[in-house]
């Protein structure tokens, strides 16, 4: 029996609400396309794993946690058992607050442990759940992916057969790794409202910095005002650009 899991969070700030358009079918398509590139068999949707993944997501909302193991010590494998899925190999990927399926999948593929689950040649089935709710008093979208292979008759009949679980949980607080991948995934994690805010801040910052750079070419009246307040204008530009950086790199953290 082998077990593995990993989780991802998009730690973006909420601006004017949250919009998520994650499709479980798109996640499945992306998964199998990536497996095909590695000459791996496609995963099949399993209704029992779907039910298990949904139950896990609902439990996280009901008990206000986001982790592989609940505060009460319940592991992911309880949900496999409750759904009646007896497994030989099992794994779990989690994601939180990504706006699209592509952003979720890209984040998983950028993490070695999540990628290992997606490209594990021992898996045959997958169950996916995308559930909206409230976590820590804020709207959240949780994605749960349960991977598995049904227990073989030989394994089920071997009373004395025991294997050590293999747990691949990424350390909390680490980034995706590749800065360009991290930046791209973070941008995909942002809501349309946040992207609009970033566009506005970009314009404000660009105008402020350009005016500061070319202040000697401004009309005389503007130049006097600029010399009097150029420190404030520069500060506005720097703060605006700083906010852009925070927003752009705030998502996709483990």
Q: Where are the domains of the chain?
A: 24-150, 188-249
DSSP for 140-203? Answer: EEEEEEEEEEEPPHHHHH-TT--------PPPTT---SSHHHHHHHHHHTS-HHHHHHHHHHHH
The architecture that CATH gives domain 24-150 is 3-Layer(aba) Sandwich (3.40)
What is the predicted pLDDT for the residue at 152? 77
CA distances, 206 to each of 186, 187, 233 (Å): 22, 19, 11
What is the predicted pLDDT for the residue at 205? 72
For 31, other C-beta atoms within 10 Å of its C-beta total: 25
Strands across the sheet with 87-96, in order? 2-9, 87-96, 138-150, 125-135, 44-45
Two tokens, residue 116: 């290992």
Query: Rounded to 10 degrees, what is the CA torsion of 155, 159, 161, 166?
Result: 70
**DSSP one-letter code for 217:** G
Q: Quote the longest CA-to-CA distance of the chain.
A: 90
CA angle 57, 58, 61 (to 5 degrees): 90
- pTM here is 0.65
DSSP for 61-102? Answer: HHTT--SSS-TT---THHHHHHTT--EEEEEEEEEES-SBHH
Give the strand pairing for 2-9 and 87-96.
parallel
What is the predicted pLDDT for the residue at 88? 92
Two tokens, residue 83: 């759904």
Rounded-to-integer distance, Cα 248 and Cα 254, Å: 16
pLDDT in tens, the chain (254 residues): 445 555 444 443 232 234 467 899 999 999 999 999 999 999 999 999 999 999 999 999 999 998 999 999 999 999 999 999 999 999 999 999 888 899 899 989 988 999 999 999 999 999 999 999 998 898 889 999 999 999 973 344 333 322 323 333 332 223 344 555 555 555 555 556 666 777 777 787 777 777 767 777 767 777 666 565 665 666 677 676 656 655 554 454 33
């Amino acid at each position: 029996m082998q077990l593995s899991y990993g989780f991802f969070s998009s730690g973006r700030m909420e601006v004017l609400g949250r919009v998520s358009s994650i499709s479980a079918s798109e996640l499945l398509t992306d998964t199998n396309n990536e497996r095909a590139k590695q000459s791996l068999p496609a995963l099949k949707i399993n209704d029992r794993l779907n039910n298990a993944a949904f139950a896990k997501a609902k439990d996280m909302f009901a008990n206000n946690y986001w982790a592989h193991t609940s505060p009460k010590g319940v592991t992911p494998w309880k949900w496999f058992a409750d759904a009646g899925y007896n497994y030989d190999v099992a794994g779990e990927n989690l994601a939180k607050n990504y706006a699209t399926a592509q952003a979720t999948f890209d984040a998983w593929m950028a993490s070695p442990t999540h990628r290992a689950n997606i490209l594990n040649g021992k898996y045959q089935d997958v169950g996916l759940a995308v559930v909206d709710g409230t976590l820590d008093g804020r709207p959240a979208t949780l994605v749960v992916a349960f991977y598995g292979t049904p227990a073989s008759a030989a394994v089920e009949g071997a009373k004395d057969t025991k294997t050590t679980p293999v747990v691949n949980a990424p350390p909390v607080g680490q980034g995706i790794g590749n800065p360009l991948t991290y930046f791209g995934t973070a941008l995909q994690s942002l809501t349309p409202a946040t992207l609009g805010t970033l566009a506005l801040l970009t314009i404000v910052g660009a105008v402020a910095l350009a005016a500061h750079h070319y202040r000697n070419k401004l009309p005389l009246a503007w130049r006097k005002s600029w010399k009097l307040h150029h420190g404030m204008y520069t500060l506005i530009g720097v703060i605006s650009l700083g906010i852009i950086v925070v927003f752009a790199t705030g998502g996709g953290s483990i």
